[in-house]
Chain A
Amino acid sequence: MNNFLDFILKDIETKTNILSALPTKTKTNIKKYNATIDEFQKKYTDYKSNLRNYLLAKSRSFEVKNEETTDINSLNDHVISLERVKFLLNPTNTYFEKMGFDELLYQLSNYSTFNFSSLNELINGFLDKFQLAGISLSQEDFDYTCYVKEYMASFLDVRTKKTESHEKLSEVFEQIYWVNPDIIEHIELNFRKLIRKNAKKFEAYIETIQKEWMAKEQVANYLDCLEKLQNAYLSLHKATEENVSDIVLGCEKGEIDINSFLQESKVRSSAYEALVPETVDQSDVGAMQKVCVVLDRLETNVLEYSKYMEFEPIITAFKEEYKKSVSEAPKPEPKKVEITGLKEVLGKIEASEQELEKLNRKILGTKNPFFDFKNEMEIKQLKAKSVVKAKELYELYAKYDEEYFKEKVLDILNPTLTVADVLHLYSSFDYFKKKALQKVFKLTTYDDIKRYSESFDLFAMNPSNVIVSGVLVFDETNIPKTIVNKYRLNGIKIDEMDLSMDNIQNLLNRIRLVLRIHMIETSMLSVEKIWFMIQVHNLLEKEQQI
């Protein structure tokens, strides 16, 4: 007895022959010809409908429910909370970074470069942070120059009244801007001075919220936090790991090509040839499980290495800048020298700010309600002097920033400094990280800088990083060779070329393919069943489009 497929193949052939043999010359012929077609169509429409129902029912019988037993949202919230505690307890940076002043200052100091939409939002950002620490700034606090005084008086007025209209403020800004285009720098300088002046209050505030968060997350100290965070990451990773229903969904969306999973696929055979040791029986589930544990680790390592390659220019630039310091002087000495350097700049800043204050007092104190030509000229000259002084101070603060970061670097600089140490350093100092990213990658928009910065932080904080913890910054390490040698011991045939920028994604795809096939084959489904589900899905989708 024929099966249905054989019958259909023969039947189609027969019916096609019948049709081709039918005459179509006369109206009667045509009528008969079309009637035959109608008859065939009726029969085949029935077949199609029955088949369609069967295919659907069969495909649905394979569906795997995505049973989410764990609450991913709460695991994610836990990770975010612990990351917050880690950020607050980070021993590398100070209240300045923990308050997020470095981030705001980066934006303010690059205001004109990146055309930020609102200067006022940035100023509000600073004022809000002061308020968090219980510091309410008033007009008297903004006296860095007469221009800051004028603008901030209007700004605070608008902020206090909470009026929506900023028209008047824009007018004031414009008036000042044409007289003194450095007004934004002056505002920045004023905030820098106020932050320094209130350092103790900020430190006390950070201490308070550190305690609050530590109690909330039951964290004893920084190291305890790192340990808890590592566990939280693992729980989240486990809960969000790809499962078979994710693979089916990926195939349906066209993100995964199920055809490459099939036994006869060349993509599959070449992946297995390279990644599964010859001695392993691929049909032995237990043996394949062991191979997949190794491949899972290889995937993690390769992903880490690909991220490392992405940010390698930052590490190289760091190496270039500090290689002399690390080779020429013993560790404690440069640190001492640089601390003096930082103090020296700070001393200069304070002295210059005092001089500027004197000038400001003269400018603001010599106002005469009556017209006095001499007096007006004098004020004009004093104002010009104050602008020059502010410019000097702006340069001094730039020098201060340089010395500040240098001090942090020299604090940890030694020949055994690892890539992980540098990643941690940069992710602890947002201002310098963004500056380095901007310079090294020649970034021209703030959106790009933010994107690179977020990606950098994700890499720097990735708990599964192992390679970067062992790679020394001031040493020539061949990472691909290290990875290849490690996995050759496991019988995996990869070479250094597989880890090159051009090939690394291909290697990752091949690893993923083997891991996914193993996952499917050890589940309730099989590659063939998923292939079938996708065929049904695609056929029905195509019909719906018609």
Chain B
Amino acid sequence: MKNSEKTVDFDLSLLSLQELITVYQKVAEFLDFLESKKIVEEEKGKESHE
């Protein structure tokens, strides 16, 4: 466990119903964001040679 995680309470029952939905939405959005940020190596590689 990283240092930042050590100071987090992972008990989801502490969150309100609205917060639970928000946190799930944020996590899902971030996953979509990460997927969109991936770079296809070959194309970028070619570009850097040019």
Contacts and interface: CB of A to CB of B under 8 A. Distances in A.
A513 to B, nearest CB: 21
A318 interface: no
Contacts of B19: 3, 5
A9 B48 contact: no
Contacts of B35: 41
Residue from A6, A15, A51, A536 having most chain B Cβ neighbours under 10 A: A51
A248 to B, nearest CB: 15
Given A8-B26, A9-B26, A58-B20, A24 B12 contact: no
Nearest to A526: B17
Contacts of B37: 19, 37
A81 B38 CA distance: 70
Main secondary structure on A side of the interface with B: helix
B50 to A, nearest CB: 12
B24 A4 contact: no
Interface in B3-49: 4-5, 7-12, 14-15, 17-28, 30-31, 33-35, 37-39, 41, 44-45, 48
Interface in A1-32: 1-12, 14-16, 19, 24-27, 30-31
A45 interface: yes
B32 to A, nearest CB: 10
A539 B30 contact: no
Interface stretch (A201-209, A274-282, A402-410, A527-535): A527-535
A543 B19 CA distance: 20
A34 B23 contact: no
A44 interface: yes
Is the interface on chain B under 10, 10 to 19, 20 to 34, or 35 or more residues? 20 to 34
Contacts of A31: 41
A33 interface: yes
Interface residues of A, number: 43
A30 B23 contact: no
Residue from A4, A10, A54, A532 having most chain B Cβ neighbours under 10 A: A4
B34 A37 contact: yes
A536 B39 CA distance: 32
Residue from B8, B14, B23, B38 having most chain A Cβ neighbours under 10 A: B23
A47 interface: yes
A4 B8 contact: yes
Nearest to A39: B34
A11 B38 contact: no
A48 B33 CA distance: 14
A45 B27 CA distance: 8
Contacts of A156: none
A116 interface: no
A34 B39 contact: yes
B30 A37 contact: no
Interface in A23-77: 24-27, 30-31, 33-34, 37, 40-41, 44-45, 47-48, 51-52, 54-55, 58
A461 to B, nearest CB: 45
B44 to A, nearest CB: 5
Given A4-B15, A6-B8, A37-B38, 9 more contacts: A3-B9, A4-B9, A4-B23, A16-B33, A24-B44, A48-B31, A55-B20, A532-B17, A539-B24
Cβ-closest 7 pairs across A and B: A532-B17, A7-B8, A5-B23, A535-B21, A51-B24, A5-B19, A48-B27
16 contacts: A4-B12, A5-B15, A7-B4, A7-B5, A8-B27, A14-B4, A27-B41, A27-B45, A37-B38, A40-B34, A41-B31, A44-B31, A51-B12, A528-B17, A532-B17, A532-B20
Interface of B: 4-5, 7-12, 14-15, 17-28, 30-31, 33-35, 37-39, 41, 44-45, 48
Interface of A: 1-12, 14-16, 19, 24-27, 30-31, 33-34, 37, 40-41, 44-45, 47-48, 51-52, 54-55, 58, 528-529, 531-532, 535-536, 539
